[in-house]
């Protein structure tokens, strides 16, 4: 971060596949832009570009955008961590 501008972003999703999957699409959405709720949501949506869920994990396509959006806002200091959340 440089002030409120994201200078570099790395978005990795560990539960997306058998190996950690990076979302270059989400990284492009974030890099060089101010982190706002709108930018965070756009990154979450971009993370699912070309997603091809298996038959039993299609629900992840709905979960990842929310998780990524919240994580971006947390990392930028724009959202408080939910004290009841695990991890």
The tens place of each residue's pLDDT in the chain, 87 residues long, gives: 998 899 999 999 887 678 888 999 999 999 999 999 999 999 999 999 888 888 888 888 888 899 999 999 999 988 887 766 655
pTM score: 0.84
CA-atom Rg of the chain in angstroms: 13
| Integer Cα distance of 15 and 21 in angstroms | 8
In the structure encoding, which two tokens stand for residue 35, read together? 């982190």
Cβ–Cβ under 8 Å, residues 30 and 6 = yes
What does the pLDDT read at residue 35?
96
pLDDT of res. 87: 55
Q: Which two tokens stand for residue 27?
A: 């990284």
Taking alpha carbons only, the member of 8, 19, 26 closest to residue 64 is: 26
* Helix, strand, coil distribution of the chain in percent, nearest 5: 40, 10, 55
């Amino acid at each position: 971060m440089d002030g409120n501008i994201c200078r570099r972003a790395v978005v990795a999703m560990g539960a997306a596949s058998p190996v950690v999957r990076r979302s270059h699409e989400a990284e492009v959405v974030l890099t060089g832009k101010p982190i706002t709720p709108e930018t965070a949501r756009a990154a979450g949506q971009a993370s699912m570009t070309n997603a091809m869920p298996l038959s039993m994990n299609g629900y992840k396509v709905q979960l990842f955008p929310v998780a990524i959006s919240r994580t971006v806002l947390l990392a930028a200091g724009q959202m408080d961590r939910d004290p009841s959340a695990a991890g």
